[in-house]
Structure 1
Amino acid sequence: MNDYPGIEMNLAQLTRNSVKEKLSAKGTVLSMTVTFGRGSEIARVAKAAGFDSLYVDLEHSTIDLRDAGQICLAAQELGLTPFIRVADWRGADIGRALDAGAMGIIAPHVETAEDAREIVRQARYFPLGERSASPQLPLLGYRQFPVDDVFRAVNDATMVTVMLESERALDNLEAIADVDGVDMVFVGTYDLSMDMGIPGDVCHPRVRSALRHVVETCRRAGKFVGIGGMAGQPDELSIWIAAGAQFISCGTDLGFLIKGSTLAAQRIGEISSKVEQRHE
C-alpha cells in the first residue's frame, strides 16, 4: 500500500527535466548564460526570448548563491530548465548549487576521468554517488517524500555536465566520456583556443579537429555534446549542430544587453544625424 498517494505523479512533475528529455529526443537545446541579472525577472526574459534553458555562471560573475537559487526556482516554475556553472567543483559548490534549486551543474576545467568521477560523486545521491541529503529541497517545493523515492527521482532528473577547455582534457576525452553518471561534455571553445595558443580563433582547423573528436567520441559513449563560445559564428556553429552537438550556449544576458542597447543607440544616432544634416 502506498502511504503517499500520488507520489509518483508529484515527484515526476516536480523533477521533470525538459532539457534532458529534448536532448534524448535528438533535439537542439538553446541556453542563455546569466552573468548579470540578479532577480527572477531574468528567467522570465529567457523564457520570453525562446530559450530552453539558462545557466547561472558563478565562475565568471559576482552573483551569489542565494540569487542563483532564486533564478533557478523561477526558471523551473516557468518550465525553463535551470543549471548552475559552479566556480570550483573541488569544494562544496556542487552540492550547494543543487540544494539551491539547480537541476544540474556545469563543472569547468575538467581534465581527467578522476575529475569527472569526483564531480559525479558529489552531484548524485546514493547509490550513484555520495551527495549529502538535504532535509528540504526547493526543487521539490519543500514537500516531503520517502528518501528512496527522492534519491531515485532527483538522480534521474539531475544533469551532470563536464567542461572540456584544454588540450590535456582532449587527450583524456575517451576516459572522461566513459565515466558513468556524466550526461554531457560541454566544449568551451574560447578557452580551448587559448590553451591551444590561438586565442579566440574558434574556427581554426585545430579547434575543428577537436570538436570533431568530441562529437564522435561522445556519440560512441552515449553522451550529449554542448558547445559554448561560438554563438558569434553562426555558419561554423551550424556545422557542429548538424554533426551532433545539441546543447548550444547562445550568449550571456549582459552580452545581449550590450548588443541590443548599442544597436539602438546607433540607429537613433543615425536618424538624428540625418535630421541635423537636413537642417544645416
Structure 2
Amino acid sequence: MILPTLAQRLRAGNTVLSSWSCIPEALTVEAISRLGFEAITLDMQHGGHSDDSVIRSLGAVNRRICHPVVRIPVGRFDMASRALDFGAEAVIAPMINNVEDARAFARATKYPPLGQRSWGPVFAMPRADASDGQEWLEQQNHETISYAMIETREAYEAVDEILAVEGIDGVFVGPADFSIAWSSGRKLDPSLDDMMEAIELIATKAINAGKLAALYCPDPREVGKYHRMGYRFFALGSDFGYLARGAESFIATAHGSIR
C-alpha cells in the first residue's frame, strides 16, 4: 500500500503531530518514531544532531508509520539539500528573516527550474522505496516541504514577502524566540498573550497564500488553540521531556504503591 506523503496529508488539511529529537542517536530516534507521533523532527539547531547523526537517524525511521523532518542550523542551506538527499520529507530553516533568506532556502530545497538543488538522492530514493529517477525529479518539488521559521519582528514584518517566494511551502513559528523578539528581550514566554494575535495573523496569511502553517508547541494542551488559528503541523516537546515525564510518572507511581 502506498501511504500519503507528509505534503499530501498537510495539503489535505490533516493535523500532524511531530515528536522532537535532540539526542543524536539513531536507536533513540527509532524508538521515539514508534511512540505514535505521525512525524519526528531531528533538531540540528539547538539539539545535538549533526550531519552524521541525521543520515543515520533518518534511516532508522520507518516512513510507513512516521514522517521524517529535519531542522537545520541557522544559515546551513547546504544542509537543507543534504537532509532531503538523506530522506527527509520536510526541512525547517530557522531565522528566515527576509526575502533574501527565503530565496536562498528555496534555491537549496527545490530542483530546477524552481531552485538549484543538485541531483543526488542516493539515500532518499531507496528509503522511500522509489526507483524511477525521472518520476522522483518530477514529484519532489511538490512532495517535499520547505518551512521558513518566523521568530523575529523582522520576519513578522516581511511574512507576506517570505510567503510569496516560490519554493517556500509554509511557515513555522518558534514561539519562544518570537516571545523574546515581541517583548524586546524582556520575556521568554511561548504562551505570551500579547503575541497571540500576531501568531494567528501569520497562520491566516499562510493559508491565504495557499501555503502551510506549522508551530512548535511545548504545551500539548494548547494545540487546540493553535489548530483553530489554522496551524496543522505541531512539534510537541522533546525527547528529553518525554523521558522526564515518563520517569516522573513511574517514580511517583512506585512511591505511591509503597505508601
In 2, Cα distance between the equivalents of 1:233 and 1:53? 15
Q: Report the Cα offset of residue 233 of structure 1.
A: 5.6
In the TM superposition, what are the counterparts of 1:231-270 in structure 2 within 5 Å? Answer: 231-232=218-219, 234=221, 236-270=222-256
How far has the Cα of 1:26 moved from its partner? Answer: 1.0
AA aligned opposite 1:165: E
Among candidates 205, 218, 221, match of residue 217 of structure 1? 205
Trace 1:185-224 onto structure 2 (pairs within 5 A).
185-197=171-183, 198-224=186-212
Question: Could you tell me how far 1:226 is from its partner in structure 2?
Answer: 0.6
Q: 1:59 aligns with which of 41, 45, 52?
A: 45
Choose from 33, 40, 62 the match for 1:46. Answer: 33
Provide TM-score, normalisation by structure 2.
0.89
1:141 aligns with 2:129: no
1:266 positional shift: 2.5
SS in 2 for 1:141: helix
* Mean Cα deviation higher: 187-196 or 33-42: 33-42
Please identify, of 32-41 and 155-164, the stretch whose mean Cα deviation from structure 2 is larger: 32-41
- Two-structure CA RMSD over aligned residues (Å): 2.2
Task: Report the CA distance between 1:254 and its aligned residue.
Answer: 1.6
8 A Cα contact 1:54 1:83, kept in partner: yes
Q: CA deviation at 1:89?
A: 3.0
Query: Residues of 2 paired with 1:77 and 1:179: CA distance?
Result: 29
1:33 equivalent to 2:29? Answer no
The letter of the residue matching 1:35 is: C
Match of 2:143 in 1: 157
User: Measured at CA, do residues 151 and 89 of structure 1 come closer, stay the same or move farther in structure 2, by a change above 3 Å?
Assistant: farther
**Equivalent residue for 2:90?**
104
Question: Which residue of structure 2 lines up, in the alignment, with residue 180 of structure 1?
Answer: 166
Q: Is the 8 A contact 1:166 1:192 kept in 2?
A: yes
* Distance apart, 1:90 and its partner CA: 4.2
**Is the contact between residue 39 and residue 71 of structure 1 (CA under 8 Å) also seen in structure 2?**
yes
Alignment of 1:87 with 2:73, yes or no, is yes
Instruction: Give the superposition deviation at 1:63.
Output: 2.3
For 2:10, the equivalent position in structure 1 comes to 23
**What is the CA–CA distance in structure 1 between the aligned matches of 2:187 and 2:235, rounded to whole Å?**
19
Which range moved further: 249-258 or 190-199? 190-199
Q: Which amino acid counterpart does residue 118 of structure 2 have in structure 1? A: S
Q: What do the CA deviations read for 1:120-162 (whole angstroms, capped 9, x no partner)?
A: 001111111001222x52111187644x433212222211111
Look up the match of 2:110: 124
Q: Is the 8 A contact 2:77 2:105 kept in 1?
A: no
How far is the alpha carbon of 1:28 from its aligned partner? 0.6
Q: In the alignment, is the contact (CA less than 8 A) between 1:191 and 1:199 conserved in 2?
A: no
Q: Counterparts of 1:24 and 1:259 in 2: how far apart (Å)? A: 33
Tell me the TM-score normalised to structure 1 length. Answer: 0.83
Residue type at the aligned position of 1:121: R
Q: For structure 2, list consecutive stretches of 5 or more residues without a partner in the other structure.
A: none
Aligned counterparts of 1:89 and 1:153: Cα–Cα separation in 2: 26
Q: Matches of 1:25 and 1:223 in 2, distance apart?
A: 12
Match of 1:168 in 2: 154
Flag the 1:17–1:116 CA change in 2: closer, same or farther, 3 A.
farther
1:114/1:105 Cα in 2 relative to 1: closer, same or farther (>3 Å)? same
Q: Distance in 2 between matches of 1:141 and 1:79?
A: 16
Q: How many residues align?
A: 255
State yes or no: 1:74 paired with 2:47: no
SS at match of 1:201: coil
- Partners of 1:168 and 1:32 in 2: CA distance: 28
Taking only the aligned residue pairs, the percentage that are identical comes to 25
Structure 1 residue 44 displacement after superposition: 4.2
SS at 1:92 equivalent: helix
Query: Quick one: distance in 1 between partners of 2:220 and 2:4?
Result: 29
**8 A Cα contact 2:220 2:236, kept in partner:** no
